[in-house]
Structures are given as C-alpha cells and as structure tokens.
Amino acid sequence: MQFDLKEIFTAFMVLFAVIDIIGNIPIIIDLRKKAGHIQSEKAAIIAGFILILFLFLGTSILNLIGIDVNSFAVAGAFILFFIALEMILGITLYKQEDHDSMTTAVFPLAFPLIAGPGSLTTLLSLRAEFSIENIIVAVLLNVIIIYIVLKTSSRIERLLGKNGINIIRKIFGVILLAIAVKLFAHNIKALFDLV
C-alpha cells in the first residue's frame, strides 16, 4: 500500500468534475420535489459501492470481452471530452428519462447520475495511471462530498444561486476538458507502443 497525496488529489478532482455533483444540484432539487424526500445516505453509499465494485471488476469484464485498459481509457477520454463540452457550452448530449419517485435514491440518483457511464469509464482510465488504493481514497472522499451536497442541496442552491452553479460547472468543464486531452494523449501513445 503506497498512498500518494498528489495521485489522490488528482483522482479526486477528476471524479469530482465527472460526477459534477454541484452542477447536478438543480436535478437533485427537482428529484426532491418529485419524490418528496431523498435518502442521501442510501444514495451516497450505493453510488460508492457501484464505483468501487467497478474499479475492481471493470478490468476483468474488459478482459472477458477482449479490450485492454488503454483502449478503454481512450474511449473514456472521448466520453470525458463530451461531458466537458456539455458543462462548458450548457448543452445536453445525453438525456435522462423520468423514473418512479419511489426508487429515487437508487435510480436515477445513485445510478446513472452519480455512478454513471462517465464516472465508471473514468475509474478505469484512472486505474491505467494511478495506484488502486489512491483511487479508492479519491472515491470515498467523493462519496462524502456527495452525501454532504445531497443533504444540503437546497441551502447550496440558495447560497450560490443559479449563476454561481453555472460558473462552477463551466470551470470544472474546462478542467475536465484538459484532463480528457491528457488522458487521450497518454493512452494513445501507450497503444501505439503496443503495436
């Protein structure tokens, strides 16, 4: 076990930007209005469980279908790129369906809003570069932040206002775009070295 604060911080920031829990506050508030109540603890724990499970089993699943981690990381870089474009330009490329309010804590909140395709792809992309224990710490830190945001979403919205949330979303979008470019460049180089 070798903990590296720089790796933990980078992995934390990447996941934080991809999960975009601050940018999702309007969606969380809308879900709260529809469901009447959101089980913050349950949603955060389930999301964390899905993320960590995929971190361990994701590579095995890829091996089973014959895809290497570098190829998956390049695909992940494209997904991060499009998520970043959504955040920066304020457009929606992926639309979510409405679901029964009885299962809001799990669906669509824990999955796919928090532990969605972007964050799952990001985990395997991070695994190609960072130590697994550092990624787990980053995931757990994000789960704590997710829980706090879910618990205090109404107060955060009042504090930041709509413009504040949009500014934060755009800043994290630019950071995510830069990370997507770096991830693509690093893994495409690794793929060419394998050929």
In order along its 195 residues, the chain shows pLDDT tens digits of: 789 999 999 999 999 988 988 878 877 877 777 777 788 899 999 999 999 999 999 889 888 999 887 887 788 788 778 878 888 888 877 555 554 444 666 776 787 778 877 788 889 889 888 999 999 999 999 999 999 999 998 888 789 888 888 888 888 888 878 878 888 888 888 888 866
- In sequence order, which ranges of the chain are alpha helices (DSSP H)? 5-19, 25-35, 40-64, 69-89, 117-127, 132-194
Which residues, in sequence order, are CB contacts of 39 under 8 Å at separation 6+?
A: 104, 105
pTM beyond 0.85, yes or no? no
Domain ranges, ordered by start, for the chain: 39-94+101-194
Q: Are 128 and 77 in contact (CB under 8 A)?
A: no
Between CA 180 and CA 188, with CA 182 as vertex, the angle to 5 degrees is 95
User: Which pLDDT belongs to residue 99?
Assistant: 47
